[in-house]
Amino acid sequence: MDQSLLTNIQVVLVEPQHPGNIGAVARAMKNMGLSRLVLVNPPENFRGQEAVRMALNGADILEKAQTFSSLEAAIAPMGLVIGTSCRPGKERFPVYTPREIVPRVLATARTNRVALVFGPERSGLCNEHLDLCHLLVRIPSSEAFPSLNLAQAVMVLCYELYAACAQESIPPASCMVPADTVQVEQMYADLQDFLLQIGFLDPQNPQRIMRALRRLFGRAGLTSREVSILRGIIRQVRWYSERGHQTATRSRDLGTERLPPVETTAEDAKG
Ligand code: SAH
């Protein structure tokens, strides 16, 4: 069985509260062949007795866990970020089951790093955290009490990934390079500024539409080149509206170059 892909998949716990849960997460990861644990603002004693007791043979994962002070920093180099929630609101759709998401996670993990993001025990991931995720997963569970224990939720996702690897049902690598989170966030910032400028977004609540766009692009799985093209289009439209249609037409008639879009070659813009 080829487990090497699992090393490209990391579990990110955002503001976990209980060291015992963090230890239990390390154990679940060890059981299922994952090894990279990332903690965003963990409690001080996250490597203490309680955590080590719950981690058992996963103590090495706890020992090597990386810590960050923001989710944004923790996921910066990731090609795919999967958020988890037991109660997605109406703006958070579509939501996948763990089994549905596995092919995309493993295909991406062949060439890139993937983050599985889990929220704090008390409140779960907030909207700002969920906005940073490309896709959302909900573990089907009883309506009477849908919220799983943090480590058990981690276990369900890790199990599905391990089982797919064990069955050798790993999709082939995609030849496309996913954009990393930093590039994608820069694009959203450009897009939001631009859509505010043209009056498309409600300045009181720009996130309503921005969230829908994030879901759309998250589903599409943008490549680095596609992000450059989209940013180039935004820049070109801005330039066109500021400098006037005439200038653009004249430069085309004269066969002169258009404004080169940001980080985009002329070839990219045509393609
Ligand atoms: N009390 C919170 C639940 C937090 S449980 C609430 O009501 O939202 C801690 C974390 O475990 C969640 O943030 C999520 O990452 C994960 N989790 C728990 N149940 C889940 C489920 N059914 N599907 C997906 N993730 C779940």
Write out the DSSP string of 21-61. Answer: HHHHHHHHHHHTT--EEEEES--TTTTSHHHHHHHGGGHHH
Using CB distances shorter than 6 Å, the residues near ligand 1 are 84-87, 118-119, 121-125, 137-139, 141, 146-148, 150, 153
CATH class of residue range 181-270: mainly alpha
Higher per-residue confidence, 219 vs 159: 159
- Contacts for 28 with CB less than 8 Å, ≥ 6 apart: 58, 151, 152, 154, 155, 158
What average pLDDT does this structure show over 214-224? 90
Instruction: Give the Cβ contact number of residue 8 at 10 Å.
Output: 20
What average pLDDT does this structure show over 199-223? 92
- What gap in Å lies between CA 32 and CA 6, rounded to an integer? 9
Domain regions of the chain by residue span = 4-166, 181-270
- What gap in Å lies between CA 109 and CA 153, rounded to an integer? 20
Pocket test residue of 39, 84, 130, 154 for ligand 1, highest count of atoms within 8 A of CB = 84
- Going by CA atoms, what residue is nearest to atom 20 of ligand 1? 86
Q: How confident is the model at residue 265 (pLDDT cuts 50, 70, 90)?
A: very low
CB neighbour burial string for 202-218, b if at least 16 within 10 angstroms, e if fewer = eeeeeeebbbeebbebb
CATH number, domain 4-166? 3.40.1280.10
Q: What is the pTM of this model?
A: 0.81
Mean pLDDT, the chain, as a whole number? 88
Instruction: Give the Cβ contact number of residue 178 at 10 Å.
Output: 23
CA dihedral sign, ordered 179, 182, 188, 194: negative
* Predicted pLDDT of residue 174: 67
**Minimal CA–CA distance to 153: which of 248, 205, 85?**
85
Cα Rg of the chain, angstroms: 21
Residues 56-87 pLDDT 10s: 999 999 999 999 999 999 999 999 999 999 98
Lowest-pLDDT range of 24-28, 108-112, 177-181, 266-270: 266-270
Pocket test residue of 17, 86, 127, 157 for ligand 1, highest count of atoms within 8 A of CB = 86
Lowest-pLDDT range of 115-124, 143-152, 174-183, 223-232: 174-183
| Residue 251, pLDDT above cutoff 60 | no
